[in-house]
């Protein structure tokens, strides 16, 4: 389980760098997340990944990066208006 936490935290590392990343690079990271989801749920290699991601409550890597960046921006704006 520790390895899963390490890999998942590395996917979240420096989300702001993902802003101008190409779709090809996002797909590479998405493949890592898909493999991680299969390991966590002990799913087969050829099973569809969307139900697994939904069951784990995980966003796609690109959506997750945009969400985290929007959350950081929101928090900064909230602090600035206080």
Under 8 Å between Cβ of 11 and 32:
yes
* CA quadruple 63, 58, 24, 43: dihedral, nearest 10: -160
Maximum CA pair distance of the chain?
51
Weakly modelled stretches of the chain, pLDDT under 70? none
Look at residue 7 in the predicted model and tell me its pLDDT.
84
Look at residue 2 in the predicted model and tell me its pLDDT.
79
pTM of the predicted model, to two decimals? 0.85
Q: Which of 76, 74, 59, 67 is nearest to 15 (CA)?
A: 67
Look at residue 60 in the predicted model and tell me its pLDDT.
95
Q: 37 Cβ partners below 8 Å, 6+ apart?
A: 43, 49, 52, 53, 56, 58
Distance, CA of 72 to chain centre: 15
Residue 14 is encoded by which pair of tokens?
């420096």
Look at residue 4 in the predicted model and tell me its pLDDT.
81
The residue ranges of every structural domain in the chain are 2-11+19-80
């Amino acid at each position: 389980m520790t390895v899963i936490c390490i890999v998942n935290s590395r996917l979240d590392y420096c989300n702001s760098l993902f802003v101008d990343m190409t779709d090809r690079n996002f797909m590479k990271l998405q493949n890592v997340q898909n493999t991680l989801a299969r390991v966590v749920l002990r799913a087969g290699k050829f099973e569809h990944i969307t139900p697994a991601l939904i069951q784990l409550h995980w966003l796609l890597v690109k959506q997750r990066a945009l969400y985290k960046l929007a959350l950081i921006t929101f928090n900064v704006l909230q602090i600035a208006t206080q």
